[in-house]
Structure formats: C-alpha cells, structure tokens
Amino acid sequence: MDQKNPHLSTPTAARNFGFFVDGQWRDGTERFERASPGHGTPVTRTVRCTVEDLNAAVAAARLAFEDRRWSGLSGAARAGVLLRVAEILRRRRDEIAYWEVLENGKPISQARGEIDHCIACFEVGAGAARMLHGDSFNSLGDDLFGMVLHEPIGVVGLITPWNFPFLILCERVPFILASGCTMVVKPSEVTSATTLLLAEVLAEAGLPAGVYNVVTGSGRVIGQALSEHPDVDMLSFTGSTAVGRSCVHAAADSNFKKLGLELGGKNPIIVFSDADLEDAADGAAFGISFNTGQCCVSSSRLIVERSVAADFEKLLAEKMAKIRVGDPLDEATQVGAITTEAQNATILDYIARGKAAGARLLAGGGPIDLGRGQYIAPTLFSGVSRDMPIARDEIFGPVLCSMHFDTVEEAIQLANDTVYGLAASVWTKNIDKALTVSRRVRAGRFWVNTIMAGGPEMPLGGFKQSGWGREAGMYGVEEYTQVKSVHVEIGKRTHWIA
C-alpha cells in the first residue's frame, strides 16, 4: 500500500476474515479467495461456512431475541447504540470504503458517498427507534379499551447482494434493529468484507452479543438454508427476481415466514420535449452508468419524445463518451470495474444481441482494455423496439436502450410495458405532465427532474415482480414488526351464565 494514503493501492496480501456468531469471531476449514475485479489481485479470504455454522447463528439470534436483551430495551436505549454506530462509521469511513472498492470494483469516490448514506441510515434508524409506536381505540364504549401494538417479528434472515454490499446492508440493519429484532446476515460470497466489518462496529457501539450474526458462504448452500430455516421469522432478500421466487417457495415449504423482497428492475426514464435537455442527458448518463449500471434502480430504458429524440440522443452519446472509466482506486474515476466475471460476460452478450437485433449503437458497445481488471464502456442503443431482449431483460450493466413516443399516453404505456416496477423518472417543466406520469407509472420509487435522489427517511421497494414490502424510514421499521390488537375490559363482566 501507499504509505501516505493506504486507501489508494491494493494490499500486498489478501486479508483473512472469520465469521461472526454470538459476539465471537469464528474460523472455518474452507475459504473463498476474492480477487479485485479492478486489479485482478487477491484481496480477501472468507470462510465457506457450513449449515451447522448457520444453525449456530440462528440459535444465537433466537436466544438473544427470546431473553429480550435487545427487544426489551427502550427505544431510547436502542437509539443510543445506533447513534454510536453512526459515529464509528464516520471515523472508519475511508477504511470501509476501501474494502468495498477492493471487492466490488466501484470508484472510491462513490464508495465514500455510500458510506455517508449509511451513516444517515443509522441516524434515521435511531430516530425511528424512539418514534415507533402503536395506536389506541377509545371508541369501543365505556366497557372496553383497545390498543394496537407493534412488536418485533423475531429473528430476521438478511441476504444481501454484491452490487451494493454495504449500502443495502445499512438500508436494512438499523431499521431491523430499531424494531427490536435480532438477525443473521448472509452477504454475497464475493463481497463479504464490509458486512463483517459492520460486526466490529456494532460490537464497539454496544450491541449485545447474538443480535447481529454474520455467516459467509454461497447462496446455493447458506442462502438456501437460511431461506428454509424454520426458526427464522422473516427473510429479507435483495437480488434477482428469479432467486426471489425461490425464496417464496422456500418460505412456503418451511414455516410461512414473512418475506421482504427487493428484486429486479427495468426502469424507465421519460424525457419530454419541454425538459431541460442538458439536465436530462446528464441524468440519463448518470442513471445508467452509476455503479456500472449494476444497480436495481438503474434507468435502463430511455423513453424520449420523438420530436427531440435525435438531438437528445446525440447530446446523450456525447455525455456518455466523456465518462471517466478506470481504476476504482483513482479519485478521478466515475465508472469502475464490473464486479464478477459472470456479469461481465452477461453484459457483453446482451450488447452483442442488441447489435444482432438491429439496434443502432450510438455510444460504447464493448469492453475497455486497461491492462488489468474488467471494464465496459457505457453503451447507448437507439432504434430499439419493445420486443428486443435488451429492452425487456434486466441486463444489470451500463447499457441504455432508447425508444420514442409521441403522446403522454404512449409514454406511460411504454413505461409500464415491463414485468418490473421498481423505479422510474420523468423529465419535464410541465407540472401537469409530471404529476400525470408520476401517478400512473407503476413503480415504487419515482423521481421528477432528478434521478436516484433522496434519503433513508423515504421508503424503498417495488411494484409487480420487483418485490414485496418496504425498507427504510418508519415504513421500514414497521415492516419488521407484527401488529397485535389488545382489548381491555373495564369494570364488572356481564356474565354469560346466569
């Protein structure tokens, strides 16, 4: 490493990580070695846990929930722990961002910004812990009083993906903790480091042992076992719709556990002729290139008004050609490496299929050779029809498909022409159009004249095959609770038996 700034070069040797159960670090006999997708050098070695390891983690989480070491605390006490986590994350921001970059391949500047968002998640979660409350019904007559309670659901299984290992983790953990639940986390095998670092942070902040447990390994073994585990009360999964469907089957075949699912997206960005086209082009370029397009809310379908389509696509192509693709540890890099070899191959295959289907390539269109690592140029296709695979499938890469419309109604129909409903944006200076489109396009998150904006105060989640439930904010805390109705009789009972 560079001694002046140890966070700007790769480590000289891969770092070994254990897994975390009941407040203790444990080791295993088999390990997975992860190479940096931006550099090709080994950076981490994590344990391939067994189902027995998972069972131990679930048992620890169960005991920690049942003895009320966490759920029995006041909201204020839980908030104090979450605020201390935020303070520690602020202190360790650069370190955590560094390991996120090494395993994921995202630019260092982006990773630091994501840690800032994670700090905000814990601060919002702390407030939510104090604000969580039920309701009362003083309308049942003089003889009966009613209360509605929010109680923590119990042990939560949390399965997180490789595209935003720490961000997606922190959009869930503080809100799960605010509700009073305990958890077992299974990060992606290729990006486990920062989930394990959070275990250190939580312990330092005073979280009781057994409340946060991390078990590493493959989705096929550990993820499946967690989905099926009969002593897990709720499963939160973020990933593909196909795997989300398997989680539904696993839950149904085990204990009918509650599910929270944030799944795939094929998100529209709708640009009207009266929009600020410079702003819209910059938003579109950002929306498809952020995190190399490996983003579930990535704006991958451009729906642009025909009268300005040619000019707008030219402007957008020029913008995309200027995006700085390079070494993720370079401060100037805007787009880093593709995270896995399999995803790299998938993206390139879709680009080839787009060309073969007759779509016109306006920008990018292939890999970038930087001597090491795997990189793909941000790509723009025009002349795309709605039946092309590049227009229908979630590519999960920096590939944007442009389609044209003439009327507001046609724009809405194109936007809704997908099995997904995760996110959408509209660009127009006409408030009538903005409100009409935002109310009629079926998506869980919507942006007007911006993209990927907002904070953890607002709920996250999708419509249709993009998932179930909501994360973040008060909705995200309530998601991890059960609602209980309590009836209290006042005074002498009127006897049924005389």
Give the number of C-alpha atoms closer than 13 A to the C-alpha of residue 169, restricted to the C-beta side. Answer: 30
Of 405, 444, 445, give the one whose Cα is nearest residue 428: 405
The CA–CA distances, whole Å, from 414 to 87, 130, 328, 405, 443 equal 45, 43, 35, 8, 13
CB-based contacts of 371: which residues, under 8 Å, 6+ apart? none
Q: Report DSSP state, residue 442.
A: -
Distance CA 136, CA 8 (A): 55
Half-sphere exposure of residue 39: CA atoms within 13 angstroms, side-chain side:
22
Element (H, E) at 111: helix 108-131
| Cα dist from 71 to 65, 202, 323, whole Å | 7, 16, 48
Contact yes or no for 167/118 (Cβ under 8 A): yes
Q: CA 489: distance to chain centroid?
A: 45
Ordered strands of the 258-262 beta sheet: 24-26, 19-21, 212-214, 182-186, 155-159, 234-238, 258-262, 467-468
Strand pairing class (42-47; 463-464) = unpaired
CA dist list (Å): 249 to 33, 195, 465, 466: 31, 27, 15, 16
262 labelled catalytic: yes
Closest CA to 450 of 486, 468, 423, 477: 423
Whole-angstrom Cα distance, residue 95 to residue 90?
Answer: 10
Q: Which of 114, 262, 305, 313 is catalytic?
A: 262
* DSSP output for 237-261: EES-HHHHHHHHHHHHHTT--EEEE
Cα(186)–Cα(162) distance, integer angstroms: 11
Single-letter residue type at 142: D
Backbone angles phi, psi at 192, to 5 degrees: -95, -15
Q: How far apart are CA 213 and CA 222, in angstroms?
A: 13
Q: Which active-site residues does the annotation give?
A: 262
